[in-house]
């Protein structure tokens, strides 16, 4: 059964802030760039495995139930890969933000997102306060 990719399978060491180091220093940017690139590589490897799996497993079953089961499995796998494709796009956007110096700052209010939050969610584009406000507004507009 296909799975959605975990945040990052490989181990990485949390960034150790040096005394007097400014936020989003060269070392911090390199740290997050390495995390994002490793995550993207894992996702791309999963895409390659999916393509290989679907080629190897594709069969024209004479039994309609077997064929339906296989089609449902492939459908679930493709949906998972579609979510991962969207995540790869967000990773690419985050890598672009690192290269242009915008990474690590809230796109809404401009404050620092924070190293711990970025390590937990490297594609975060909002500080926790702005993200919380967005979620509250979304709940209110959906009526839930």
Say whether pLDDT at 10 is over 80: no
Phi and psi at residue 23, to the nearest 5°? -65, 140
Tokens 């400014």 identify what position? 22
Out of 3.20.20.70, 1.20.120.910, 1.20.1630.10, 3.40.50.460, which CATH number does the structure's domain 26-142 have?
Answer: 1.20.120.910
What pLDDT does 144 receive?
Answer: 57
Domain ranges of the chain: 26-142
Mean pLDDT is lowest, of 54-58, 100-104, 120-124, for 54-58
Give the residue from 35, 57, 47 showing the smallest Cα distance to 5: 47
pTM of the model: 0.78
For residue 38, what are its two tokens? Answer: 């490793």
């Amino acid at each position: 059964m296909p799975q959605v990719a975990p945040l990052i399978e490989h181990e990485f060491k949390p960034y150790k802030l040096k005394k007097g180091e400014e936020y989003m220093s060269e070392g911090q940017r390199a740290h997050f760039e390495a995390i994002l690139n490793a995550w993207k590589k894992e996702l791309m490897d999963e895409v390659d495995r999916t393509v290989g799996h679907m080629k190897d497993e594709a069969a024209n079953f004479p039994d309609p139930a077997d064929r339906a089961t296989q089609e449902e499995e492939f459908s679930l796998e493709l949906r998972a890969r579609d979510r991962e494709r969207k995540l790869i796009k967000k990773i690419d956007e985050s890598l672009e933000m690192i290269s242009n110096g915008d990474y690590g700052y809230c796109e809404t209010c401009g404050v620092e997102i924070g190293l711990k939050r970025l390590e937990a969610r490297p594609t975060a584009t909002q500080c926790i306060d702005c993200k919380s406000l967005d979620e509250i507004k979304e709940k209110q507009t959906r009526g839930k």
